[in-house]
Each structure stands twice: as structure tokens, then as C-alpha cells.
Amino acid sequence: MEPIYTDVCIVGGGPAGMALALELAKRNIRTVVLEQSKNYNRSFRGEFVSPDSVYILDRLGILKKVNQHGLFHTRNFEVVENDQTVLDVNFTNFQYGYRYPIELPQPILLEAIVEEASYYKNFQLLRGTLCNELIREGETIVGVKCHTSEGELEVYANLTVGSDGRFSRVRELAEIEYQKIPLERDFAWFKLPLPDNWSKNTCRVKIRGGSHAIILPTHPQMLRVGLNIPKGSIQKLKKKGIEYLHQMVTQLEPTLEQSVKEHIKTWSDTSILEIFTTVVPTWYRDGLVLMGDAAHTLSPILGQGVNHAIIDAITLAPIAAKAIKNNPDTPVSAEILQEFQTLRQKDIQAVRRLQLRQEKMFSASSSLLTYLRRTFYRTVNSSNWLKEKIWKPVFYKNQAQHLMG
């Protein structure tokens, strides 16, 4: 195949890569996205989108498009321990323009971004294209080699972006060091029909001892359930049969007993998410940068993966565009890309710290620790000031700072 010469080559068309492509195309930068899958029907992925990203999606011109699907806005977040509500956060009480998280299935999000990006002639999306090698000139990365159904393809670019997710191949190919920190448990995700008497606007964490499940109403008329399972235990659990999952769900949420038995017949009706966080000390090389999950895989707590993927995109786009406009014939240097990591790193570290603390609280099972956990949630529950202090940096930071101007 004829090689492609472009300004930016983005490997991975998830929320990070697609949002970056849109932002670059708007800035008149030639952008090619390489995505291995042929359609949007990706495996189970992040759907809970933080208010800050809802705000950003509106500024990007995407929110109207996705809202046409009649998505659910989360107005309440509840923690229910042993059938008692120990924490109830009502987002209506927070005085921000975009108060509510939304449950936004990724195919709807990605389709909307691609539709918007396709208005720009500089945007090109190549589906069914698997990147499997980097092209180097000395130490500098100048593009990628990939496999397509029509043959091998080379794409040359001033900047190669690895937005290829939590198991990033680009990160491996670039020999970028990282540390994968396993967390205390993994998750089994599955979907059930939304029960008639279930509020569409309440996201609930149900806890009993060291077990918990996250239950989120989602489009279209479904419940998305994330059930925590002991770390690395999936093979053992599978041997116990799917009845074991039915029991765990019923213990946590008895009203779902019939539904889970009816709709989750085998373990293949679930999607297992190995929970880990990845720390990548340096996100860039000369000519290459990582973003989204490839640069910082987060845990599912408070649904921050999509949020930070999108914030990465709007942060990187102006830096990359300026560098390419100033020096159209030169690969973007590590020095310039360092600015991107510096701008993003503090927030990522703060979210990771918060998630690790929460993770420990959720997995506490001794009576002392569960008592302390309950006391903590009840204390937070009694104070709107404390609620805002906890949620503001996670959900509302960009609105507070007017990041997009």
C-alpha cells in the first residue's frame, strides 16, 4: 500500500484518540486515526461520564448529538451498607452549570465525535488497522507500520500518539517503562433490564462486609452492574458455576435475584475487568506521546477513565498543533511533549490517590474497619460542605477553572 504522510498519527480510536483527532482537525492539523476494530461495537467499556467531561463535550459540539439518544443523568450517588443508606449525595445541590454525570455508552460517544470530526477534511479514520511496529530515525519516532486487510501500511507523522488503551502496544514498542499496580479486587460487569420501580437517576454502591457492587442505570433502559470479585479469582469462581455470581448479587441486592438468574446464564454474559492502575513515569519520546489509559490506567471508582481521556485530548491538542505549525517539517520534540505531561500529571496523581483510598475502604471486611468506613460515610453525609469538598476536585475542577476558556 502507498505510505501515508500526515502531521499526527493517532493509534487507538477510543475516547482519548477520537477527541484528540477532532481537536486537531479543527486546528487544521492533518490527522490520521488507526483503529484495529472495524466497528463501534466495542467490548464493555466506560460509560459513566463525569460532569466536567459533559461540560467539555458541550464545548466540543458533541453533547447535543449524544443527548438525542435520551441518556440518563445521574442526580444522586448513594452508598448503601447492609441495607442502610450511609451516604446520599444529591448533585442538584452543587452550583455548577453541568452538575450531573451521564451514562453514555461508548459507541454513541465515538460515533458522535467521528461525525463531528468528519466535517473537517484533515480528519481521516482507518478502521480495521492494527499498528504493530514503530518507524524510527535514530532515537526519534517518525511513524508506525500497521496491518490492514489490504496489506501492510506505513504512516509517517511529526507526532505519533499512543492512545491504544490499558494494554498499550505502542507503549511496549516505544520501550516506555511503566509500573502496573494491581488493586485489591477485580470486577465482573454485566447488564440487566432496568426494573420498573428503579430510579433512572440514582447511581448506587451496595456494600456488605468486604463485598460490593456498583449499580448504574444506563441507556437504553438497562442497569449496568459491576460486582467486585477477589483479585485473580475468576477461574476459581467459574468452577463454582454462575450460581455463585447469582448468590453474590442476591446478597447485595435481593430485588435483582430473578433478573440476574434470568439474564446472566453463564460467565460469558459478564465482562471481567482486571483492576489495576498504571504509573508511567515518562509519557513521551521524541516524536511520540502516550495519552488516556495508555499513559494512566485508573480504577473504575467514580468513573474517571473517560473523563481524563477527554481532558488529555483538549490539553494535548493545542500543544501539538502549535509545535507542528511552528515547525512543520520536524518531529515534535520530547521537550515540548513534556509540557503536556506536566499539565496533566498532578490531576492524575490526585485522582489515583483518592481512588486508592476508596479502594481500601470498599475492600475492608474486619468489624473495626467496616465500622470506621460507616462512620466516615455518615460524617460526610451530614455535611454538604464536606460533600462538595470531596466531589469538586473530581467532578467539577475544569468548570471551576474554565479550562476551555
Ligand X SMILES: Cc1cc2nc3c(=O)[nH]c(=O)nc-3n(C[C@H](O)[C@H](O)[C@H](O)COP(=O)(O)OP(=O)(O)OC[C@H]3O[C@@H](n4cnc5c(N)ncnc54)[C@H](O)[C@@H]3O)c2cc1C
Does 303 sit near ligand X (CB under 6 A)? yes
Does 163 sit near ligand X (CB under 6 A)? yes
Q: Please, which residues have CB within 8 angstroms of residue 77's CB and are 6 or more apart in sequence?
A: 87, 88, 89, 91, 202, 203, 204, 205
Site string for ligand X, 58-97 (x = CB under 6 A): ----------------------------------------
Does 355 sit near ligand X (CB under 6 A)? no
Distance CA 186, CA 273 (A): 6
Distance CA 81, CA 85 (A): 6
Distance CA 389, CA 293 (A): 26
Residue range at the interface with ligand X (CB under 6 A); choices 58-66, 306-314, 327-335, 336-344? 306-314
SS3 per-residue string spanning 65-84: HHHCCCCEECCEEEEEECCE
Taking the complex as a whole, the smallest distance from the CB of residue 36 to ligand X amounts, in Å, to 4
Task: Please tell me the count of residues contacting ligand X according to CB under 6 A.
Answer: 35
Does 305 sit near ligand X (CB under 6 A)? yes
Exactly one of 26, 30, 99, 169 binds ligand X (CB under 6 A); which one? 169
Residue range at the interface with ligand X (CB under 6 A); choices 61-69, 194-202, 292-300, 357-365? 292-300
Sign of CA dihedral 74, 80, 84, 89: negative
DSSP code at position 93? G
Exactly one of 17, 143, 287, 331 binds ligand X (CB under 6 A); which one? 17
Site string for ligand X, 249-278 (x = CB under 6 A): ----------------------x-x-----
Taking the complex as a whole, the smallest distance from the CB of residue 121 to ligand X amounts, in Å, to 23
Measured in whole angstroms, how far is the alpha carbon of residue 324 from the centre of its chain?
Answer: 28
- Cα 207 to Cα 12, 162, 228: the distances in Å are 36, 37, 10
Q: Determine the 3-state secondary structure of 355 from DSSP.
A: helix
Exactly one of 63, 131, 141, 203 binds ligand X (CB under 6 A); which one? 131
Residues in touch with ligand X (CB under 6 A): 11-17, 34-37, 42, 44-48, 130-131, 163-165, 169, 189, 271, 273, 292-293, 300, 303-307, 309
